[in-house]
Amino acid sequence: MWKVLSLTMLTLALVKSQDTEETITYTQCTDGYEWDPVRQQCKDIDECDIVPDACKGGMKCVNHYGGYLCLPKTAQIIVNNEQPQQETPGAEASLGAATGGVSASSMAASGVVPGGGFVASAAAVVGPEVQTGRNNFVIRRNPADPQRIPSNPSHRIQCAAGYEQSEHNLCQDIDECTAGTHNCGAEQVCINLRGSFRCQCPAGYQKRGEQCVDIDECSVPPYCHQRCVNTPGSFYCQCSPGFQLAANNYTCVDINECDASNQCAQQCYNIVGSFICQCNQGYELSSDRLNCEDIDECRTSNYLCQYQCVNEPGTFSCLCPQGYQVVGGRTCQDINECETTNECREDEMCWNYHGGFRCYPRNPCQDPYILTPENRCVCPVSNAMCRELPQSILHKYMSIRSDRAVPSDIFQIQATSIYTSTINTFRIKSGNENGEFYLRQTSAASATLVLVKSLSGPRECIVDLEMLTVNRLGTFRTSSVLRLTIIVGPFSF
């Protein structure tokens, strides 16, 4: 009787609720769910996390809406967002609960999950694509329909925070990012979530409190090979002079300046991060270390050339005065014009000296002297004029360089005939008015002419060297003269 009365009262209450419009508020959750006071909705309980050893026999625990599954470790779980399929009996999986295992077929009846937006259904576990092999389970799990309420337009429902009633009397998520109802800052990015939203900082920024602060990537090495430049929300790499960024925009590689932009005037040598310039022989680097300037070798030394140094681009050359020729690039050597070309007449002989030549008469004898084959002028004894004159005059020629070092032996005189019981003496008869010479007797029949003062050329000196011969009794006396013509060249070479 009480059962009939209770059923009648429940029926009347249901009819009355359908006739009048009222607000339904969910404050309790079904098994496997718990109420979330923050989000104001039911959330699934992860039994695999809170139940110790939820699965036995080497099975793995897989959390499910409103419960959990114990599956072989080789089972594969496929998440599919398709609409729930019809129940296919026959395939079973262990469903762990407080009271023990329950077959998947027992989950066929759908349960409403208030505020959660999903309903647990057996179709989410068992469907057309469930493989019943012992060691290769493939499970398809479909999201349940969000808070499906009997579609009676006369009823208004109360949705959890972040949801709103749709035209089909369903609680659907509110996209706060699209609606503009979020409170993200201007520099933040709004990301919609189910029942809520999240404020996220753009790439290169991190959230500090309610603000987005730039991340200094350069403070966490090694981002860049050489130098890092931080920018708002990003960074970029720079290279030192002489390097350039590689294709990865991180590594710095050396620039071969000698190939890319050769700035050297002559020779370029690439080194790591830079380059150096060098000059050819005869040049030196200028102050800018790029260009080359000619070296004036003639100013660096006075001994490069024997006579005159002439600077040229990158080198130098030596010149010699007239009458000389360059030998070995630097030395001056006398040209013997008497062997090459001269302007002496037929009755003249050519005498070469240092730096030139001179023409002298082939017959230098003057009256009363006559010429003999040895270029000797002899005064005949038969001629009365010869009694007070030297018996013979021998003409000799020699040349010396200018500024010759002194004292210096320059000429030797030797008697051609030696008589017994005679005495020979030597003297400078003429040509030594300035005392440049000294005649030193070296033996009874010879003497040496010594230069005691330096002579500067060009100059010609004629010196008469006389040899007096007397017998020991004093009854015989004679003299012979050697007329020495000394030509001093214009230079010291």
pTM for the model stands at: 0.50
Residue 34's pLDDT band (boundaries 50, 70, 90)? confident
pLDDT(83) > 60: no
pLDDT of residue 155: 59
Q: Write the DSSP assignment of 448-483 as a string of letters.
A: EEEE-S---SSEEEEEEEEEEEEETTSS-EEEEEEE
pLDDT of 347 > 50? The answer is: yes
User: At residue 483, does pLDDT exceed 50?
Assistant: yes
Contacts of 227 (CB under 8 A, 6+ apart): 237, 238, 239, 240
Section 390-408 average pLDDT: 95
Of 307, 490, 308, whose CA–CA distance to 402 is shortest?
490
What digits encode the pLDDT tens for the residues 135-169? Answer: 333 333 334 344 444 445 455 678 888 898 888 88
Q: Tell me the CB-side half-sphere exposure of residue 119, using CA atoms within 13 A.
A: 18
Residue-level pLDDT at 177: 94
CATH class of 365-488: mainly beta
pLDDT digits (tens, 9 = 90+) for 206-217: 988 888 999 998
Q: What is the C-alpha to C-alpha distance for residues 212 and 203, in angstroms, rounded to an integer? A: 10
Q: Which of 46-55, 70-79, 326-335, 447-456 has the lowest mean pLDDT?
A: 70-79
Is 460's pLDDT higher than 50? yes
Between residues 314 and 106, the one the model is more confident about: 314
Question: 């200028």: which residue's tokens?
Answer: 286
Residue predicted with more confidence, 199 or 28: 199
Q: Could you identify the residue written with the tokens 């690439």?
A: 270
Share of the chain above pLDDT 70, in %: 78
Is pLDDT above 60 for 2? no
* E-state strands within 298-433: 308-312, 315-319, 324-327, 331-334, 348-353, 356-361, 370-371, 376-378, 392-400, 408-414, 422-430
Mean pLDDT of the chain: 80
pLDDT in tens, 413-429: 998 887 778 899 999 99
Strand partners, 380: none
pLDDT one-digit tens code per residue, 282-293: 999 999 999 999
Cα–Cα distance between 279 and 300 in angstroms, integer?
Answer: 18
Burial bucket for residue 379 (CB in 10 Å: 0-12, 13-18, 19+): buried
Neighbours of 348 (CB within 10 A): 15
CA quadruple 120, 125, 127, 129: dihedral sign: positive
User: What does the pLDDT average to over 454-468?
Assistant: 95
Q: Given a cut of 70, is residue 243 above it in pLDDT?
A: yes
pLDDT at 419: 78
Between CA 469 and CA 422 the distance in angstroms is 6
What is d(CA 454, CA 407) in angstroms, rounded to the nearest whole number? 8
Q: What is the pLDDT of residue 76?
A: 67
Q: Please give the pLDDT value at position 391.
A: 92
Q: Greatest CA span in the chain, whole angstroms?
A: 207
Confidence (pLDDT) at 58: 80
Question: Into which CATH architecture does domain 297-334 fall?
Answer: Ribbon (2.10)
Residue 238 pLDDT class (50, 70, 90 cuts) = very high
User: Does the pLDDT at position 26 exceed 80?
Assistant: no
Indicate the domain borders of the chain. 34-71, 297-334, 365-488
Q: Band of the pLDDT at 6, cuts 50, 70, 90? A: very low
Looking at residue 231, what is its pLDDT? 93
**Dihedral sign of CA atoms 387, 388, 390, 392 in order:** negative
Domain 297-334 and domain 365-488 have a common topology: no
